[in-house]
Amino acid sequence: MKTLSHSCKNEKSPRSDAVEKLTSRFQSTFKLAFALRAAHAYKSKGVPVSEIFTFLVNLAFRNLSLFRALQLNDSSARFSKDTCYRFLNSSSINWNRFLNVLSLRVMQWLDALTSETRKTSFIVDDTPFKRNRSLRVELATSQFDHSTKSYYTGFRCLCLAWSDGNSTIPVDFGLLSSEKGKTALETSCPDKRRRRSCGYAARSEAVSKATEVMLLCLKRALSLGCRARYVLFDSWFTSPAMLSHLLEMKLYAVAMVKQSTKLLYRSGGKLCTVKTIYDENCKRRGRSKYLLSVTAVMCRSATSEAEELNIPVKLVFVRKNEKVSRKAKNYLVLVSTDTTLTEKEIIQLYRRRWNIEVFFKICKTLLRFGKESRSISYDAMRASLAIVFVRYLILAWEQRVNTDVRTIGDLFFEYAEELQEADWKDALQALLTAIIVEINKNDVIVKVNIEKCIKSFLENLPEDIRQKLKCA
């Protein structure tokens, strides 16, 4: 598997041992057992939950199914498949809380490697979770895939990720159904005791709107301690109400805007659409990265002043395709509620949104997103998603360890602090002393010639450096 680190590939131990070492390093570094206990995933007796969870995480790296892994003679599992199924089908485990706690620890580890001036951001997007061949899957409904323009049976997986520009960390998720699933929800949980469980809360989110689940994920992440200034999302979530809610949460939005006639802006003392703003303003000439930049006020309605939401925004019109002629008006519109950002910063921030598309691609092609769990239980499908996201966290952490030289540890920071504290005069004197010591080891060179070389070197130095060396 190409995404595994080089250290795991070059080990002499078998592949299973290398995978176990990789996951054990991640487990000990970020305290995976503590995150499971925070999500109410623990047992009073028997095999620890962390051992079962680690075994399930390693299945994709070993390219094995659960049945085949338990059938192997060299399997280290001390439990049967029924134990795994009971663990996956448990409705008392809060998988959102588990992923929040674990992702926060990874983000805190990345903060030590990231400058304070770097802009961190949340990214929100959804992807299809298909179960076309299943007939009795809990809460599964007919969904529309906008990429293929076709319908499928299953869910929409809404994911909240955190990014610093280099690494993408999944923070929270929701497995969304539709309004049709409310009837199945009421009939499947008639008992009030079951309605107080984490499973019922997750099912209630499944039949909610995607915008409401998005705000819930952001609130959970912020309450736990995740910090970011911007939220990046596509045009499907862009609305005045959404931007207003994000500003109340002290978050700025950088998103794409639909070229719709229903969404109005106040620019130049009048209400107008995006197309009107583009037609009435002068565009930048040449091959600029953006065509037009306008500061306006986003409103809700053009008829009633009481229903308007006056949100100051900056609109940036970007050329969609350079091959299209200029007369085609083929452009995209980016919106930012932080009007202090420059046009270049808005474009760079929104370009970061593509990281979540790469995240979905890796999860689907390599980490068995939507393919590993064939269960009809909604709890088991959510558990499989949490396992997939933990696999990606392991790969993202291992990739950062192998590519970022600063992750060598305390040794780098100690050397860096020592170099910063050392004065340049002391450093130059230490360098000259080291040169003299090395030259004296050679008996062929006469000491008189050495002194002449050092004297000529000092005479060729600038005047201010020579005076400071004499004073030292």
User: ∠27-28-33 over CA atoms, to 5°?
Assistant: 60
Q: Would you say 207 and 229 are in contact if contact means Cβ atoms under 8 Å apart?
A: no
pLDDT (tens, 9 = 90+) of the chain, 472 residues, equals: 345 444 444 443 456 677 788 888 998 999 999 999 999 988 888 888 999 999 999 888 888 888 888 877 555 678 888 888 999 999 889 999 999 999 999 999 988 777 778 889 999 999 999 988 888 888 888 888 888 889 999 999 999 999 988 889 999 999 998 876 665 555 555 455 466 778 888 988 998 999 999 999 999 999 998 889 999 999 888 888 899 999 999 999 999 998 888 888 888 878 888 888 888 888 787 777 788 889 999 886 554 454 567 889 999 998 876 555 454 567 889 999 999 999 999 999 999 999 999 999 999 998 989 888 888 899 999 999 999 999 999 999 988 888 776 665 554 554 444 444 445 566 667 767 777 776 666 655 566 677 777 777 777 777 777 776 666 5
> CA 368 to CA 215: how far, in whole Å?
27
H or E element in which residue 193 lies: helix 192-195
DSSP per residue, 251-295: -EEEEEE---SSSEEEETTEEE-HHHHHHHSPPPPSS-SEEEEEE
DSSP 38: H
CA distances from 57 to 48, 84, 148, 391, 449 (A): 15, 12, 31, 6, 68
Q: What local confidence, expressed as pLDDT, does residue 163 receive?
A: 92
pTM for the full predicted model: 0.79
pLDDT, residue 278, reads 87
Rg (CA), the chain: 29
| Per-residue confidence (pLDDT) for residue 2, from 0 to 100 | 47
Per the listing, tokens 């996201």 go with 389
The confidence score (pLDDT) of residue 447 equals 61
pLDDT of residue 325: 47
| Alpha carbon separation from 161 to 151, 169, 372 (Å, rounded) | 26, 5, 22
Distances (CA, A) of 434 to 45, 177, 427, 439, 448: 64, 71, 11, 9, 17
Residue pair 222/248 in contact (Cβ under 8 Å)? The answer is: no
DSSP 66-85: HHHHHH-TT----S-HHHHH
DSSP-based three-state secondary structure for 154: strand
Task: Write the DSSP assignment of 295-310 as a string of letters.
Answer: EEEEES-SS-STT---
pLDDT at 425: 64
Query: Whole-angstrom Cα distance, residue 100 to residue 110?
Result: 15
Neighbours of 8 (CB within 10 A): 19
**pLDDT at position 16:** 65
Element (H, E) at 334: strand 331-336
Number of other residues whose CB lies within 10 A of the CB of residue 328: 10
Instruction: Tell me the C-alpha distance between 284 and 67, whole Å.
Output: 62
Asked if 315 and 277 count as a contact pair (C-beta separation under 8 A), the reply is yes
pLDDT of residue 9: 43
Long-range Cβ contacts of 267-275 (<8 Å, 24+ apart): 267/294, 267/296, 267/297, 271/299, 271/302, 274/315, 274/333
Per DSSP, the chain holds a count of helices (H) and strands (E) of: 20, 11
- Cβ–Cβ under 8 Å, residues 50 and 107: no
Paired tokens of 43: 């047992």
383: amino acid identity, one letter: A
- What DSSP line would sit under 378-436, residue for residue? HHHHHHHHHHHHHHHHHHHHHHHHHH-GGGG-HHHHHHHHHHHHS-HHHHHHHHHHHHH
Give Cβ neighbours of residue 177 (< 8 Å, ≥ 6 apart). Answer: 139, 140, 141, 155, 206, 207
